[in-house]
Each structure stands twice: as C-alpha cells, then as structure tokens.
A and B are shown apart, each in its own frame.
Chain A
Amino acid sequence: MTLDFLFVVGLAGIITLGLKSSFIEGQTYFTLPSWLVTAFEFVPPAVLCSLIVPSIFKGDPGLVQEFGQVAVDPKPIAAILAAVAFFATKRTIPTLVTGMISLYLAYWLQL
C-alpha cells in the first residue's frame, strides 16, 4: 500500500460520504433544482457505458498475457454474448457466467 493509494481511496471515501450525507446533513440549507434531478437520472447509464468501452476494447485479458495473442480480440465477442444472456434472463449471475465462458471459448477456438 502506498501513500498515493491511501490518498486516492481516502478522498474517494470522503467524496462518497459527502454525496451520501449531502441532504441527510444539509437539507435545511439547500434543495435540488428539477433539471438537475432529471440529469442525474441519466448519469448511471452514461458513466457505466463509458467505463465498459475501454475495458472491452483496450488491454489484454489474463488469458492473452499467459498464452499469447489471437487474431480476433475475444473480449467484444464475450461482451455481446453476455448482453444477449442478460436480455434472455434479466439476471446477474447467468450474465457473468455467459460472459466468462464466451471469453474462454472465443480465445481457445482461435488457438
């Protein structure tokens, strides 16, 4: 553990506490404008999708690091099949399992 790490995680913890406590502590001091409440609704899908993209299109999974490159990156294929599994089941575990199995298969089939 480095000081830099502690600094980042500590600040992230303070920010999280600040956001969670914002109104529980300060409700007498301020209210949220309605346009901001509307915008907040769109934050989760926007941030999550923006986060997913680099993890799917950049970097090598552990498989590639251990056994070498293949012609077609298996990550986007696995992500698409995981999304299909989500739409079919609407459940987390089958989505994760399908994604991981697809990753392994999409890699091994190219060896």
Chain B
Amino acid sequence: MRAMLPFLPGIVPFGVVTGFTPISFGFTWIDSWLGSLLMFAGAAQLAAYQLMNEDASIWIILLTVTAINLRYVLYSASIAPHLADANRLTRLLAGYGLSDQIYPICHRDYRTHEWGLEERIAYYTGGTLLLWGLWQACTLIGAFAGQIIPVFWSLEFIIPLTFLTLALQTLKTMAHRVTAISGALVSFVGLELPYSLGLILGAISGVCFGALYQRAIR
C-alpha cells in the first residue's frame, strides 16, 4: 500500500471530477457511481458519459471506450506471467482491478523481489484495494457535490481540460505529437459528421499518422 501513496493525490481530484460530471449532464448519483463500479477506468468513464450526453450511437460509445482502454491489453500482457499460477477467481479480480497505478508498481517491484505467488497476489491486492476504495469514495463525493453545484459554474468543462492534461502527458516523442495534432485536426474537420464519426476518424488517422511518422524517421 505504501508504494501506492505517490499516486493518491492525483487520484482524488480525478475521481471527484469523474463523479460529478455525469451529474452536470443530468445523470443521477447512482448512474455516476455505476460507471465507477462497472468500469473502474476513469478516462473511459468520462468519455462514455460525455458521448451519452451528446446522443452518440452505442457503437461509437463502445468503440471509444475500447480505444481508450486498449492500453490495459499491454498492461495485462506484461503482468500476466506473474499471476499465471493464481486461481481463476483471483485472476478475474486482478483483471478487474488492473489500473494505470497498480501496473507500474507491480511491474517494477515483481522483478526486483524474490516473491512467491501468495506474496505477489497480496502486494497486488493491497495496492488495488486502496486505490479502488479511494476511487469509489471520490466518485461518490463528486456525484453528491455535483447535485448542489449550480449550472453556471460550467464544471462540465473540466472533462475536456482533464483529457487535455492526460493527452499532453502522453506527448513524449515527436511521433506522439504528430499523432495528437493529426487526430485533433481530423476530428475538427469531421465536427459536423453524424454519430460522432469525426471522433473515430480522428482517432484512427492519429494512430496511422503517428505510426507512419515513426516508421519514416527510422
């Protein structure tokens, strides 16, 4: 649990924002909390509620959730060998609890410690339980706070600002910057397309341009 402490200050505001933004769209606190309970994936939760608010089709919503959560496949592939001998229920719960925070901690510490399976599971469980509990509490607090905050505060604008922060944090190389700029440009050109298609076209072309740029400079 101690290893998770550096992550906690960042979790609190993000959890609160994720809790209250669905409220600003007119959802109830139970609707807001269900997203945290069923998905336990902040950025995907925010995107899903935003798109539901924009009346996007279910396919666009699910495609967007899939795209945002694709990184978990990489985490899953990386962490899997350490949990291979665990029973099915443990593996299922470990899958549900996989997060941007527990992955780097376990990835780092599993390799540097001579732990048996039980110790590895205990380490994973302790960190995940702390994070899960804090996340659920923060989204609930955000959901209840959202019910009493007036509309003119425009707090729904925190969603794009949060995505902006997350996006800027990913711009490590020129290829990532090419990805971001081309994705945003295509999404802008496709603003008036139906079913939020501009979003999907922007995401696909961003990935293609980024990958092509990286291949070109090699």
Contacts and interface: CB of A to CB of B under 8 A. Distances in A.
Interface string B176-218: 1101111110111001000010111111111100110010000
A24 B95 contact: yes
B202 A62 contact: no
Nearest to B177: A45
Contact of B95 (A21, A92, A96, A103): A21
**Is the contact region of chain B dominated by helix, strand, or loop, or is it mixed?**
helix
Given A23-B80, A46-B203, A9 B35 contact: yes
Contacts of B175: 42
A95 B70 contact: no
Q: Among the interface residues B31, B76, B91, B150, which one has the most CB atoms of the partner chain A within 10 A?
A: B76
Given A1-B30, A52-B164, A13 B206 contact: no
Contact of A38 (B159, B199, B202, B214): B214
Q: Among the interface residues A8, A43, A49, A100, which one has the most CB atoms of the partner chain B within 10 A?
A: A49
A44 B76 contact: no
Contact of B199 (A8, A9, A22, A50): A50
Interface string B57-83: 010011011111111111111111101
A6 to B, nearest CB: 8
Given A1-B31, A20-B76, A22-B76, A96 B165 contact: yes
Nearest to B168: A86
A109 interface: no
Interface residues of B, number: 100
B44 interface: yes
15 contacts: A12-B48, A15-B65, A22-B73, A23-B77, A24-B91, A27-B77, A32-B77, A38-B211, A42-B206, A42-B211, A46-B182, A46-B205, A47-B206, A56-B160, A82-B164
Given A7-B58, A8-B58, A23-B79, 15 more contacts: A12-B44, A16-B41, A20-B95, A22-B73, A24-B79, A24-B91, A40-B73, A42-B211, A45-B183, A52-B160, A54-B196, A55-B157, A55-B159, A63-B154, A99-B161
Interface of B: 10, 13-14, 17, 24, 27-28, 30-31, 34-35, 37-41, 43-44, 47-48, 50, 52, 54, 58, 61-62, 64-81, 83-84, 91-92, 94-96, 98, 150-168, 170-171, 175-177, 179-184, 186-188, 191, 196, 198-207, 210-211, 214
